[in-house]
Structure 1
Amino acid sequence: MRRRLRDDRGSALVEFSWLAIILLVPLVWIVISVFEVQQGAFATSAAARAAGRAYALAPDDATGEARAEAVVRQVLADQGTPGQRATVTVSCQTPGDSCHVGTSVITVRVDSAVDLPLFPDILGKGAASFSLDATHTVPIGQYVVSAPPDGEGRGR
């Protein structure tokens, strides 16, 4: 009885195809995730800078906080990340009660997170996210010329 030999022609192509699928799919996911995180980092940094400027240009602290929040939402939408969540925290180093005096230094911190794309929900609770934050410090006098105390320096 004669045994029939198995023909191996074409098996290398099949093996290469499966290996390419197994290696390329995670690699493509990693590259897309890195791009999403980088886009979110740029958006968060731009949002912190714009929020600091908006706060400094506001006439008072309450208006400044409202403007900073609105600017952060707008900048994130403009950068292509409209669904990105963000929290704005404003602090200032000032000798008085108001952050809007000539020697104040305003620090704006924007905390946000970027959801990783195509992450299956069965691996955890909801989509996986990458936490981002950016801080921008603005001396109040950089954008606003404060009035001198007691009318000094006014025209004669």
Structure 2
Amino acid sequence: MSGRRGEAGSALVEVTWLAILLLVPLVYVVVGVFEVQRAAFASTAAARAAGRAFVLAADPAEAQQRARAAAAVAMSDQGVDGGAVVIGCRPACLVPGSVVEVQVSYQVPLPFLPDALGRQAPSIRVHAEHTVPYGSFREDRS
């Protein structure tokens, strides 16, 4: 019994270090997944809002402006800054039977990673698309 007295309480130290070594990477992965999910939800909501705002506008110039504003509001609701918004129409914008396609892209920087050696921090690209039909029986607003 005298040989084991020197190890009394060492299991607590080992379990504590093991918990720290396992929990820190796990928490980092969870935070990273949450950041990507937040950006994915924001870009999906932005694409949907931009498409709806576009087809409800009176003319193509106003439609572009409204769509970009709606996308910016949807992104900021989720705490995401910016994002590239691309709006396209087939065959033309705001004509009966046309289709409006909205694409939103955003680069999600990985959390807690500083710019290393002057290069850009690693990021994950999130992309969302939404298609909105402009009804066949609506008036031509082109």
Alignment TM class, shorter chain as reference: 0.7 to 0.9
In the alignment, does 2:84 pair up with 1:91? no
What residue number does 1:12 align with? 11
What 5-or-longer segments of structure 1 have no aligned partner?
148-156
Deviation sequence 1:50-107 (CA, Å, 0-9, x none): 00011111122222112111111111111x2242x3111111111xxx4111111111
Residue among 127, 135, 144 paired with 2:129: 135
Inter-partner Cα distance in structure 2 for 1:121 and 1:113: 15
Equivalent positions of 1:95-106 (< 5 A) are 98-106=92-100
Inter-partner Cα distance in structure 1 for 2:116 and 2:45: 34
Equivalent positions of 1:6-155 (< 5 A) are 7-78=6-77, 80-83=78-81, 85-94=82-91, 98-122=92-116, 125-141=119-135, 145-146=138-139
Identity over aligned pairs, percent: 48
Shift of 1:40: 1.0
Inter-partner Cα distance in structure 2 for 1:48 and 1:136: 6
Shift of 1:11: 1.4
Shift of 1:128: 2.5
| Counterpart residue type for residue 138 of structure 2 | V
| Counterpart residue type for residue 44 of structure 1 | S
| Counterpart residue type for residue 61 of structure 1 | P
Larger Rg: 1
Inter-partner Cα distance in structure 1 for 2:19 and 2:79: 32
Shift of 1:123: 7.4
Inter-partner Cα distance in structure 2 for 1:28 and 1:123: 25
Q: Is the CA contact 2:39–2:80 (under 8 Å) kept in the aligned structure 1?
A: no
Inter-partner Cα distance in structure 2 for 1:140 and 1:16: 62
Inter-partner Cα distance in structure 2 for 1:127 and 1:145: 47
SS in 1 for 2:38: helix
Change in CA separation of 1:72 and 1:132 when aligned onto 2, cut-off 3 Å: same
What residue number does 1:154 align with? none
For these two proteins, the number of residue pairs brought into alignment is 138
Inter-partner Cα distance in structure 2 for 1:61 and 1:112: 25
| Counterpart residue type for residue 105 of structure 1 | V
Shift of 1:34: 0.7
Calculate the aligned-residue CA RMSD, in Å.
Answer: 2.2
